[in-house]
Structure 1
Amino acid sequence: MGEILSYLAAVLPADVSAGARLLALQCALRMNAYMHVELAAGLLHGLRIDAGETCDELERARWLRVVNGPGAAGVSAELLDATLLAQSPARPDRRRAADWALRTGCPARIGETEPRLRLPGVYLGAHSDPSSGEGQSEWDRIIRDCGLHDQGFHGALTRLTVNGVLEGWRICPDSGDVHWMLAPGQ
């Protein structure tokens, strides 16, 4: 999951919204061997994003081309970056990761419907030790991978703490690394 988030941070323009990044994450993880993806309307509803707006945003970034939709049945798209074919793991593992990302980033767990908070929630969960809930990453990498701006970083992590996703977080003054602990049950 972390590799896909880093890949998306590298290929998508910095101004691509968190909602479009959440959609791109689902597309990258759910695509088939021909780089096509079908996202059902229920899945799009679960993402709590404006599918039309985010699809347009990813089309403007030349990352995907909408084939059909978005509509009542969902959206069909063709991904345009052949680098995705080299990404591992295999499709069944990617589909499980897509389901995990959807559950982890759903508003009921995050306590917010804003994609700008859900994407960091997915990122921190993906970069945490499953047994201890502890994680560590460079602050600038979190900002880049989650599409946050410097001023939004502290606010997002503070709100994730208030909402019960994180037990706590801090920035190490020597290294600039962010250390966090997921709240119990996350």
Structure 2
Amino acid sequence: MLSYLAAALPSHVGAAARLLALQCALRMNTDGQVRLPTGVLRSLRLGRDPLPWSELEQARCLRRAPAAPDSADSGMAARILDSGLFAQHPARPDRRRAADWALRMAREGCASAGDPAMRLTALCLVAHTDSAVGRGCVEVDRIARECGLVPEALFAVFDRLEALLASWSVALDAGDLHWELLSKGEQCQWADPALA
């Protein structure tokens, strides 16, 4: 899902909107409808911020639905507009588990609570980590696209992820990013493979 959204969303879409798009894509029903309760929005640290929603609407990824007047929950509802998402990634029950994992990772403090770019980067790295060895290797350009960053900005975020990364390096000849996560006891739970 991260790879699909990296290709589908314009490069100017920010990290907060990408985190929101991921939750919407993973939680949509078979009709492309999604409802994010207030608790999910709080876990995303979005609250009532309209900017991520506006970015996704401008990218023609989704359209917010008007709130039901009798709804006790003040969450948000939307309709996914991306037909490619339906064709390549139809709604499945196991996706909700991946969406819940992504929220838990952010809530448990794997990355800075105030910086969506750090939370999204941590999510991407953990999702691409081989859980058997705690290491990962992906092309720098791919991770940068998934995070909505240029490589130079991505490297600055890596330097601030000391709560997650034991080490990281770039093989300049191949353009591959290599990293090692802190041991399982020192970091968040491993990723759900459905996320990558």
Determine if the TM-score, normalized by the shorter chain, exceeds 0.5.
Answer: yes
For residues 141 and 126 of structure 2, the distance between their equivalents in structure 1, rounded to whole angstroms, comes to 17
Q: Structure 2 CA distance, aligned partners of 1:172 and 1:146? A: 19
State yes or no: 1:48 paired with 2:45: yes
CA RMSD of aligned residues (A): 1.9
From the superposition, tell whether residues 90 and 60 of structure 1 become closer, same or farther in structure 2 (CA, over 3 Å): closer
CA–CA separation in structure 2 for the residues paired with 1:51 and 1:101? 19
Query: Counterpart amino acid of 1:137?
Result: V
> Structure 2 length normalisation: TM-score?
0.86
Tell me how far apart the structure 1 counterparts of residues 16 and 80 of structure 2 sit (CA, whole Å): 17
1:61 to 55, 59, 62: 59
Q: Which runs of 5+ in 2 are unaligned?
A: 188-196
* In structure 2, C-alpha distance between the alignment counterparts of 1:145 and 1:111, rounded to whole Å: 18
Give unmatched runs, 5+ long, in structure 1: none
Map Cα deviations across residues 43-80 of structure 1 (whole Å, 9 max, x no partner). 101101254211111111111000035x9611000000
- Give 3-state SS (helix, strand or coil) of 1:62's partner: coil
Tell me the secondary structure at the aligned position of residue 109 of structure 2.
helix
- Shift of residue 83, structure 1, vs aligned partner: 1.5
1:121-145 per-residue CA deviation (whole Å, 9 max, x = no partner) reads 0100110011211000011111111
Q: Which residue of 2 aligns with 1:80?
A: 81
- Which residue of the partner structure matches residue 169 of structure 2? 170
Q: Distance in 2 between matches of 1:106 and 1:144?
A: 24
Q: Percent identity?
A: 48
**1:38 aligned residue:** 35
Which structure ranks higher in relative contact order (CA pairs < 8 Å, sequence separation ≥ 6)? 2
Q: How does 1:50-129 map to 2 (within 5 A)?
A: 51-69=49-67, 73-88=74-89, 91-106=92-107, 108-129=109-130
| Paired AA for residue 131 in structure 1 | A
How many residues are treated as equivalent by the alignment? 181
**Counterparts of 1:61 and 1:180 in 2: how far apart (Å)?**
32
Q: Helix, strand or coil: the match of 2:66?
A: strand
TM-score normalised by structure 1 residue count: 0.90
CA contact (8 A) 2:30 2:91 kept: no
Question: Which residue of 16, 20, 23 corresponds with 2:17?
Answer: 20
Q: Which amino acid aligns with 1:8?
A: L
Q: Which structure shows the higher helix fraction?
A: 1
Native 8 Å contact 1:106 1:118 kept in 2: no
Rounded to whole Å, the distance in 2 between the matches of 1:80 and 1:23 is 14
Instruction: After the TM superposition, list the runs of 4 or more consecutive aligned residues in structure 1 that deviate by more than 4 angstroms.
Output: none
